[in-house]
Amino acid sequence: MTAEPGGERALSTSSRYPVASDTRDTVEFRQNVIGIFAFHKSGFKPNARSYNVVMEDLCHFLKYGTVLHGEWFIDGQRVPLASSTHRQPLPPGLSERPAMAPVFPEITRMEARHDGCPNQFDYGTNYHQTAEWRSKTAAWALGHAKARCAEAEAAISEAQAALQAVPSAAKSAAAGVLARAQAMGRKVAAETEDIVQSDGLAGAWPVEPIARTQYPGHRRAVLRLTTSPNRNPSMTGAITRAHTKLIAYHGKAGYDSLGYVPKMAVCEAIASGALLNPGTRELVLYLAQHRPSPSVAKADKTGWEAVGSYVYAFYDTAKFTRFAVPDATSFKGCQQNHRFIGLCDDRRRAELDGPLRVAKGFCACDPCLRLETDDCLLPQLVGKAMRAKAPLAKARPCACRRC
Q: Is residue 1 part of a domain?
A: yes
State the DSSP code for 242: E
- Statement: residue 385 has pLDDT above 70: yes
348 or 23, which is more confident? Answer: 348
CA distance 15 to 26: 6
Both 53 and 70 in a single domain?
Answer: yes
pLDDT class for 395, splitting at 50, 70, 90? low
In-domain check, residue 244: no
Q: Looking at residue 173, what is its pLDDT?
A: 84
Pair 15, 53 in one domain: no
Please tell me the predicted confidence (pLDDT) of residue 252.
62
Query: Is residue 172, in this structure, part of any structural domain at all?
Result: no
Residues 6+ apart with CB under 8 A from 132: 342, 344, 347, 350, 351, 354
Q: Are residues 16 and 96 in the same domain?
A: no
> Which residue range forms the structural domain that includes residue 2?
1-28
Report the chain's C-alpha Rg in angstroms: 25
Report if residue 184 sits inside a domain.
no
Q: Is residue 23 part of a domain?
A: yes
Tens of pLDDT, residue by residue over 162-206, are: 888 888 878 888 888 888 888 888 877 776 666 665 543 444 434
Q: Which of 265, 291, 319 is the last residue of a domain?
A: 319
Choosing from 319, 354, 374, the residue where a domain stops is 319
Q: Does residue 394 lie in a domain region?
A: no
Q: For residues 10 and 42, state if they share a domain.
A: no
Instruction: Judge if 47 and 116 occupy the same domain.
Output: yes
Residue-level length of the chain = 403
Of the ranges 14-28, 30-44, 224-238, the best mean pLDDT one = 30-44
161 vs 188, more confident: 161
What is the chain's mean pLDDT, rounded?
80
Q: What is the pLDDT of residues 90-148, one digit of tens each?
A: 999 999 999 888 999 999 999 988 888 877 787 899 999 999 999 899 888 777 777 77
Cβ atoms of 121 and 48 closer than 8 Å: yes
Residue 318 has pLDDT above 90, yes or no: yes
Q: What is the pLDDT of residues 268-289, one digit of tens each?
A: 988 988 878 889 999 999 999 9
| 212 pLDDT above the threshold of 50 | no
Whether residue 39 sits in one domain with residue 17: no
- Asked if residue 269 and residue 350 are part of one domain, the reply reads no
> Are 313 and 374 contained in the same domain?
no
pLDDT at 249: 66
Q: Burial, 94: exposed, middle or buried (Cβ in 10 Å; 0-12, 13-18, 19+)?
A: middle
Q: What is the pLDDT of residue 283?
A: 94
314 shares its domain with 351: no
358/287 same-domain check: no
Q: How many other CB atoms sit within 10 Å of the CB of residue 138? A: 21
Q: What is the DSSP secondary structure assignment for residue 105, as one 8-state letter?
A: T
pTM of the model: 0.76
Whether pLDDT at 345 is above 80: yes
What are the pLDDT digits (tens) for 6-18? 333 333 344 455 5
How many CB atoms neighbour CB 136 within 10 A? Answer: 21
Question: 340 and 302: one domain?
Answer: no
Query: Per residue in 224-256, pLDDT tens?
Result: 333 333 334 457 789 999 999 887 766 566 677
If asked whether residues 42 and 107 sit together in one domain, one would say yes
Q: Give the residue from 236, 213, 211, 209 showing the smallest Cα distance to 223.
A: 209
Separation between Cα atoms, residue 75 and residue 12, nearest integer Å: 29
Q: What is residue 115's predicted lDDT score, i.e. its pLDDT?
A: 84
Residue 312 lies in a domain: yes
User: How far apart are alpha carbons 86 and 72 in whole angstroms?
Assistant: 10
Highest mean pLDDT among 216-220, 301-305, 378-382 belongs to: 378-382
Cα angle 185, 140, 320 (rounded to 5 degrees) comes to 135
| Cα–Cα distance, 335 to 12 (Å, whole number) | 45
Distances (CA, A) of 180 to 13, 30, 151, 170, 173: 39, 37, 13, 16, 11
**Number of domain units in the chain:** 3
Identify the residue with better confidence: 292 or 194.
292
Q: Tell me whether residue 60 is in a domain.
A: yes
Tell me if residue 133 falls in helix, strand or coil: helix
Q: What is the pLDDT of residue 20?
A: 65
Which has more pLDDT, 154 or 25? 154
Query: Given pLDDT bands bounded at 50, 70 and 90, which one contains residue 368?
Result: very high
Candidates 288, 276, 269; CA nearest to 79 is 288
